[in-house]
Amino acid sequence: MSEFDLIRRHLTGVGAGRDDVLVDVGDDCALLRVPPGRELAVGIDTLVAGVHFLPDCDPAALGWKSLAVNLSDLAAVGAEPAWATLALTLPEADAGWVAAFARGFGELAAAEDVRLVGGDLTRGPLTITVQAHGLVPADHALRRSGARPGDLICVSGALGDAGLALRHLSAGEPVDDYLRRRLERPTPRVALGEMLRDIATSAIDLSDGLIADLGHVLAASGCAARLDLERVPMADQVAAVVAERDDWALPLASGDDYELCFTLPRAAACRLPVLGAAAGCPLTIIGDIEAGSGLRCVRANGSLWRPSGGGYDHFRRDD
């Protein structure tokens, strides 16, 4: 048995137990059954060592996160996760590293009932590409394009945690457990996404930061927005940095939040507390959709905050 076979063994059977998988890892293709009345939602994301994560990153955390960022995309369209494929490029056959990676990947896969159905293992610079496949009732997927003037803008969880963790790590400073967990093991808001299908008018997941991602919703919907900065939900650690330096870029533009930002009709606001409790995460109204174009970020005193620097260069980070 080659080292390759040893490695592959770690990746076989991850998330077993779905009866809609007819053939999985081992044949040329996986064969999958999409139930009638369901659409297939697919998203693909790559994480590159030195770009999206530090090369010495804990492989179990990396396994978790490489699946999480993809499930977050499924959550944004309201899809129920079903299957994943994994293309893993490794500089050398390191069975211990792969075992830890598979453990982290498998923890989240088990929690969300996702089966690893196929993959490719190649030699080269450490790169991880995952494609997640989900199912959504036909014509009920959430889109970016449905926001309308008068809608409320909401966000799940808290913003800026991963960004602050990354700042600390980059500066060689200690990172507390909460921030590290938010950076390394983000929780994709899968249950929330499914619940929002018939309530929200639009949704997106926050991978590039609220300003950039809400900007995509506004562009797709042909609307403007007003963001009330004092309502943006933040952990104490992030709020302290913002209070000290007026540094709103931390919660609004540092990315890697993997929360959902969604819009909903004003009349649905009363449902948010129950929804949040059911989804297991706080939901906060942070602004309003308006007619026109552009995004205004308004401080508590009524003054406008503007991001410094030019546009966000997607090519420098993930997209």
Contact 74, 132 (CB under 8 A): yes
Q: Rounded to whole angstroms, how far apart are CA atoms 38 and 46?
A: 26
Residue type for position 114: V
Site for a second copy in 66-105 (CB under 8 A): 73-74, 76-77, 79, 83, 85-87, 89, 93
Size of the site for a second copy (CB under 8 A): 72
Nearer to a second copy, 123 or 266 (CB): 123
Site for a second copy in 99-158 (CB under 8 A): 117-125, 127, 129, 131, 133-134, 136, 138, 141, 143-144
Nearer to a second copy, 133 or 180 (CB): 133
Q: Rounded to whole angstroms, how far apart are CA atoms 267 and 82?
A: 33
Residue from 245, 266, 299, 314 touching a second copy (CB under 8 A): that is: 314
Specify the 3-state DSSP secondary structure of 76: helix
**In the bound complex, what is the minimum distance in angstroms from residue 251's beta carbon to a second copy?**
21
Which tokens in the block code for residue 207? 């991978």
Binding mask 15-54 for a second copy (x = CB under 8 A): -------xx--xxxxxxxxx-x--xxxxxxxxxxxxxx--
Contact 290, 218 (CB under 8 A): no
Nearer to a second copy, 37 or 273 (CB): 37
**In the bound complex, what is the minimum distance in angstroms from residue 218's beta carbon to a second copy?**
14
**In the bound complex, what is the minimum distance in angstroms from residue 198's beta carbon to a second copy?**
16
- Closest Cα to residue 151, out of 269, 302, 299? 269
The yes or no reply on residue 261 touching a second copy (CB under 8 A) is: no
Nearer to a second copy, 175 or 206 (CB): 206
Nearer to a second copy, 114 or 238 (CB): 114
Specify the 3-state DSSP secondary structure of 212: helix
Binding mask 294-313 for a second copy (x = CB under 8 A): -----------------x-x
Nearer to a second copy, 70 or 237 (CB): 70
Nearer to a second copy, 52 or 180 (CB): 52
Contact 41, 79 (CB under 8 A): yes
DSSP state of 26: T
Q: Rounded to whole angstroms, how far apart are CA atoms 57 and 61?
A: 7
Residue type for position 234: M
Which residue's structure tokens are 């993959």?
119
**In the bound complex, what is the minimum distance in angstroms from residue 32's beta carbon to a second copy?**
4
Site for a second copy in 164-203 (CB under 8 A): none
**In the bound complex, what is the minimum distance in angstroms from residue 231's beta carbon to a second copy?**
24
DSSP per position, 228-287: EGGGS---HHHHHHHHHH--THHHHHS-----EEEEE-GGGGGGHHHHHHHHTS-EEEEE
**In the bound complex, what is the minimum distance in angstroms from residue 126's beta carbon to a second copy?**
9
